[in-house]
Chain A
Amino acid sequence: MIDSMMSKYNYWMYIILMMIGFYAMIGKKNLIKKLIGMNIFQTAIILYYISIGVKKGGTVPVLMEGLPRAADYVNPLPHVLMLTAIVVSVSTTGVALAVILLIYRRYKTLEEDEILKSIR
């Protein structure tokens, strides 16, 4: 049991990270903290993807002399996917920051409950 859990520790790590991020997104009132939580959340998924591409003894997926077998390389596809996911996450952060600025300019605060109070 413990063994099987430990042998898949990468999944546990990503789940723990994801939950931390999730908690921050749901539980925190401060918008910046929510945003940080969102970043952790996305990073957890990126980590997960990267970890599924890993092979023991695998090397950089650049075609080299002497390593003709596919099994000798780590799987590059998750990396490529995550490159895109990173771009997405950067853009999301950018948009979110811009929105936060807009909120700050309008309400002069970043605490969600204070904003809600001033809307009503």
Chain B
Amino acid sequence: MNPPHIQATILIIIIPLMSSYAIPLLGWRWKRSAYFIALTAIGASLVCSLILLSTVLTQGTIHYHLGGWLPPWGIEYVIDPLNGFMGVVVCTISFLVTLSSKKSVEKELPEKKVRFYTIYLLLFTGLMGIVVTGDVFNLYVFLEIASLSAYALIAIGEDGAPLASFNYIIMGTIGACFYLLGVGYLYIVTGSLNMADLAKLLPPLYDSKVVLIALAFFLIGTAIKMGLFPLHVWLPDAYTYAPSAVSSFIAPLMTKVMAYILIRILFTVFKPSYVIEVVPVASILSWIAAVAIIAGSILALAQRDLKRMLAYSSVSQIGYIVLGIGLANKMGLIGAYLHILNHAFMKGCLFSVAGALMYRTGRRNIFQLHTIHRKMPFTMGALVIGALSMIGIPPTAGFFSKWYLILGSIEAQNWVFVAVILASSLLNALYFFRVIENVYFEVSQGGLKEEPAGDPVREVPLSMLAPIILLAAGILLLGLYNERIISGILVLALPRGF
């Protein structure tokens, strides 16, 4: 019998899962309850994830056998420092973003609140499932739960949303199917689906072409799902047209969790030695990522729509994470892990700000934001902090992930990557300062000075503002305390041999 803090492994999934069924049942009668149920469920998961993380850090890896079946036959949930960390990241961001979703959902989707939160919780369940599971097929199932909910959530957005969602369905299904094929190939040669078991069975088979093909399918599948550069085409539309509550939930988390899958596949299922030495997968990935960083930034530069700009910047930031993974040395991986955390906070903050702008002004064009800073000083302050962090100005979190990535690139003696990271921070500066300039400065001569019609713009309600401020404060604190996170958690989360 397992003590309660081990049972948290499963509670972290079944609480949101059961709550998501409870929402339509209770929401039928009390529409308002949907939000509170969702918030409570995610809050409970947050508590569970914190318990898990502390347990992992003090007592070592947790193995949870679902249904009492022993691995490799039964499904096993494994919590090691890496996914303990990921769980906390996902839960924290989800909690904050959900907190802020109340008003914007009421405004944008007044009739669909109940269904919205049902699917929302399912998405959260899927993400958490991906994080905790130690079984490659179970991971596929959760991947699809998360993706299906995401398709649905994106489709309820405005104008181009259904088409964006359809494209995402097509691309996402290809990605998931490739992942499934990868699982199939591994299953042919090993007869196992358990990650730890696979890791044991695979090394003698490293010469096999089948294993190589499996790895290729895994990589393409996850690359599509996380929007790595040439395969990113679904991402900008989906993030732009989704309702603001959705884009501020999906943008920070979805792609990060997919990056987590990549890490798991490369460094847990396969051994680092395989992806570095036997096949140069890691270095191929890092080169693709380098292209992604630059291309994403340049594409972001061309946008006038704030949310679309942020979406393209996500494409470039995914590049950072993959670059760190591909460097496959200690500093690079630490940079990648840290950037998963940091970027989740930054994008959560920035998309929430974009949502707040939509909520109060309905404007997304960055050239129509003059004088907003007087009306919404706190929101815009958060925007500045988020933007500075994206650029990589020191005390903010974004600087430090860049710092470790640069150290990793130097360690790998790869000067091109150093140049890419540095150049991209300049490009980031270009497009983010364009926003800041438009928000804070009024061009005195012949600018857009007249107030738009409609209700006078003012600061967003507290339920939206508080999460934004917390996220912004989080960015600063993560930057200042990054060393604690690294030495406390991330060093333990590195794959063996680093």
Contacts and interface: CB of A to CB of B under 8 A. Distances in A.
Interface in A61-120: 77-78, 81, 84-85, 88, 91-92, 95-96, 98-100, 102-103, 106, 112, 115-116, 119
11 contacts: A38-B170, A42-B177, A88-B144, A88-B176, A91-B144, A92-B148, A95-B151, A112-B163, A116-B163, A119-B159, A119-B160
Interface stretch (B61-69, B179-187, B349-357): B179-187
Given A48-B184, A52-B184, A99 B165 contact: yes
B166 A103 contact: yes
A42 B169 contact: no
Q: How large is the interface on A (under 10, 10 to 19, 20 to 34, 35 or more residues)?
A: 20 to 34
Residue among B137, B152, B170 facing the most chain A CB atoms (10 A cut-off): B170
A34 B165 CA distance: 13
B174 A41 contact: yes
Contacts of B169: 38, 92, 95-96, 99
Nearest to A89: B173
Interface of B: 137, 140-141, 144, 148, 151-152, 155, 159-160, 162-163, 165-166, 169-170, 173-174, 176-177, 180-181, 184, 187-188
A23 to B, nearest CB: 12
Contacts, number: 74
Contact of B152 (A38, A88, A95): A95
Contacts of A100: 162, 166
A96 B160 CA distance: 15
B162 A102 contact: yes
A92 B173 contact: yes
B189 to A, nearest CB: 11
B137 A81 contact: yes
A25 B171 CA distance: 9
B155 A78 contact: no
B187 A95 contact: no
Given A100-B166, A112-B163, 4 more contacts: A45-B181, A78-B187, A88-B144, A98-B155
A47 to B, nearest CB: 11
B148 A91 contact: yes
Contacts of B155: 95, 98-99, 102
A41 B151 contact: no
Contacts of A91: 144, 148
Nearest to B177: A45
